[in-house]
Amino acid sequence: MSKSSLRTLARDLTVAFRLVSRNVTSFAWAMFGILIVTAIMVGLLIFFVTIPIILTYGIQFLVWLITLVETSWTATSGTVLLGILFIIFLPLLLPVFVALGALYGMAREIVESEGTSASGVFTWYRAKFLSLAGAGVLQFVLIVGPLMPLSYFVPDIIMGNITTEMMALIVMVIIVWVVFSSGFLSLTFPGVIDNLSVVKAARRSISLSRKHVDRVFGIWLTFILVFAFAALPTILGVVFQWFSSIDNEIIIAYSILMLILLLLVVLPAMSIAQTRAYLILSAQSDQSFEPNHEADEFVRGGTYQ
């Protein structure tokens, strides 16, 4: 990464965190509201899926389904098992995708007009529900889909019939693929907020990421590192297990603090940084970039279709 790219990244991050700090109250209320709505939506989805199944096939069917999953887990049909889980969990993720996408709507308001309101997130939630859900599904399928062949190893992993080296290799492949594929698709939500169709937004995200790999991946990898730093010790409990002297209370306090920071600061900052990058890079792609001064760049834009 060149010096100018590092300077650009530093500015992207500084501006994003500064804008978050100015709008932290709006983000806090929006996050609070959107989490409640998402939880209700997931609850409703579970309710409306399980109740018709019970009414139609009886409670025995659910028992049979769970038994089937358990049986498949220990059998060799890892791909089938993951396929079933894929189909079951994907609809449950839809409200989460929409919630995440609506956050980019707020980010767009901040980046383009300096301000937003907590209620703004629900306007985007309603106005772009299908597009944001579609964008989430497309990204999920594109990122997770190609990893399906790895499910061949699931039974061996469960039964412990796999070497440490092989396991390390699988984990590496998964991490590298997820980080890079999601990096290429990281501007999809800003595209959808910009009124592009789901497929066009994904295409545009890939195209801009390829042309401006340092800027798009600079932002993406920075936030991945922040997420990893904040979430890895908490979720996996890996690091803290090494320090047995640390009390559980400290770990819990750390987890809560990190969760609050992630939801109220890091996630909004990421959406703002990516939305800014999208607006700048899409304008650059269409006409020559005309920098005025170091921090007062002038870009000729174009007509959006």
Binding residues for other proteins, rule: CB under 8 A, are: 11, 14-15, 18-19, 105, 108-109, 111-117, 120, 123, 127, 191, 194-196, 200, 204, 207, 276, 279-280, 282-283, 285-287, 293, 295-305
Six-digit token string for 101: 């996408």
- Cβ distance to other proteins smaller for residue 111 or 258: 111
Q: How far is the CB of 207 from other proteins (least distance, A)?
A: 7
- Cβ distance to other proteins smaller for residue 182 or 285: 285
Q: How far is the CB of 81 from other proteins (least distance, A)?
A: 40
- Cβ distance to other proteins smaller for residue 111 or 230: 111
Distance of CA 290 to the CA centre of its chain: 32
Q: How far is the CB of 136 from other proteins (least distance, A)?
A: 20
- Cβ distance to other proteins smaller for residue 70 or 114: 114
Q: How far is the CB of 122 from other proteins (least distance, A)?
A: 10
Q: Are 132 and 192 in contact (CB under 8 A)?
A: yes
Contacts by residues 247-254 (CB-CB < 8 Å, ≥ 24 positions apart)? none
- Cβ distance to other proteins smaller for residue 264 or 299: 299
Q: Which H helix or E strand runs over 166? A: helix 164-184
Distance CA 283, CA 301 (A): 5
Q: Are 216 and 183 in contact (CB under 8 A)?
A: yes
- Cβ distance to other proteins smaller for residue 24 or 172: 24
- Cβ distance to other proteins smaller for residue 70 or 112: 112
- The SS3 of residue 289 is strand
Q: How far is the CB of 268 from other proteins (least distance, A)?
A: 15
Q: How far is the CB of 202 from other proteins (least distance, A)?
A: 12
For the CA atoms of 19, 286, 183, 142, the dihedral, rounded to the nearest 10 degrees, stands at: 130
Query: CB count, 10 Å around CB of 178?
Result: 15
Which DSSP string corresponds to 186-199?
TTHHHHHHTT--HH
Go through 123-157 and write b for each residue having 16 or more CB atoms within 10 A of its CB, e for each that does not: ebbeebbebbbbbbbbbbebbbeeeeebbeebbbe
Which residue in 101, 164, 171, 151 sits closest to 130, CA to CA? 101
Q: Are 50 and 44 in contact (CB under 8 A)?
A: no
Q: How far is the CB of 142 from other proteins (least distance, A)?
A: 19
- Cβ distance to other proteins smaller for residue 122 or 227: 122
Q: How far is the CB of 29 from other proteins (least distance, A)?
A: 14
